[in-house]
Amino acid sequence: MIELQNVHKTYRRPTGEAVKALDGVSLHIARGELVAIAGASGSGKSTLMNILGLLDRPGEGSYRFSGEDVAHLDVNEQARVRNERIGFVFQTFHLLPRTSALENVELPLVYSDRHSIGGLGRKALEAVGLGDRMHHTPAELSGGQQQRVAIARALVNEPDLLLADEPTGNLDPRAARDVMAIFQELNRSGRTIVIVTHDAEMAAHCNRIARIENGCIVSDEPVEAPKRTLQETA
């Protein structure tokens, strides 16, 4: 599903100094995998995440998504791919303030070409166990609940790929385990999920861990016995 071939990305600091964020990364992820991309900050994992999510372009190398060369699509076509086929979950949730959970979840639908969007937001919220919090605003929800709203938002358009950037970074341990349990459950029902994290414990919940250091993948191996957490409803 994801075929990243020898991807390089170099940034130029305002001082003019060039920084190699990715230095020849190749990564293949098949449909239905639950992969952790683990690395310290500054290792290049955020850049990798941006490229996987079509928020940034590789400097060199190729990126095929479901067999399609997406690295060279124009910006509007990339926006469409993001809208229809990729769901994002962020460390800081990025929920719209003063906006109900339901409306937050429906945000991707605002930009979709779908004719009717009725009921999709409700369905996605129910899928993450927040059917009874639909009209709460983010300020009225706990951190774990906010992240679940964000996951519902990522799911609302039935994407092929779920990309999560440090999804548990702002959560207390219990809420973090809940969120990982949701990812595992979504994965069991067939969803492809890539989680970027620096947290070894969270990475251990995945089926495969790719470690990145200084812009290179240094190890990439399956996890023998992924950590399981009984999902507790918060």
Partner 1 sequence: MKTTRMFRHSVRTLGRYKLRSAFMMLGTFLGIASLTIVVSVGKGAERKMLATIRQLFGTSSILVMARGTQFMGGPRADAARLTMDDIAAIAAELPQIEVWDPQQAIPDEPVRRGDAATTARVLGQSERFQRAWDRGVTRGESFDASAVNASARVAMIGETVARRLFGAQDPIGGEVLIGSVPFRVIGVLQPFGTDLHGMDRDNEIVVPISTLMRRVMNVDTIAAAKLIVNDRASVAANAAELRKILRERHAIPAGRPDDFTLLTAVQIQKTLAKVRRVLFLYLPLVAGVVLLVGAIVAAALMLSAVSERVGEIGLRRAVGARAGDIRLQFLIETAITTLIGGAAGVIAGYAGAQMLATRFHLGEVFSWPAVLLGLALSIATGLLAGVVPARRAAALQPADALR
Chain residues binding partner 1 by CB under 8 A are: 50, 53, 55-56, 75-76, 79-80, 82-84, 88, 90, 92, 94, 96-99, 103, 107-117, 153, 157
Three-state SS at 115 = coil
Contacts of 118 (CB under 8 A, 6+ apart): none
Question: Nearer Cβ to partner 1, position 77 or 172?
Answer: 77
Q: What is the largest CA-CA distance in the chain?
A: 52
Closest contact distance (angstroms) between CB of 56 and partner 1 is 5
Residue 108 CB, nearest approach to partner 1 (Å): 4
Q: Is 139 exposed, middle or buried (0-12, 13-18, 19+ CB in 10 A)?
A: exposed
Residue type for 53, please? Answer: G
Q: CB of 110: closest distance to partner 1 in angstroms?
A: 5
Closest CB to partner 1 among 167 and 226? 167
What 3-state class would DSSP assign to 70? coil
Burial class (CB in 10 A: 0-12, 13-18, 19+), 73: middle
Cβ proximity to partner 1: between 34 and 81 the closer is 81
CB-wise, 153 or 211, nearer to partner 1? 153
Q: How far is the CB of 113 from partner 1 (least distance, A)?
A: 6
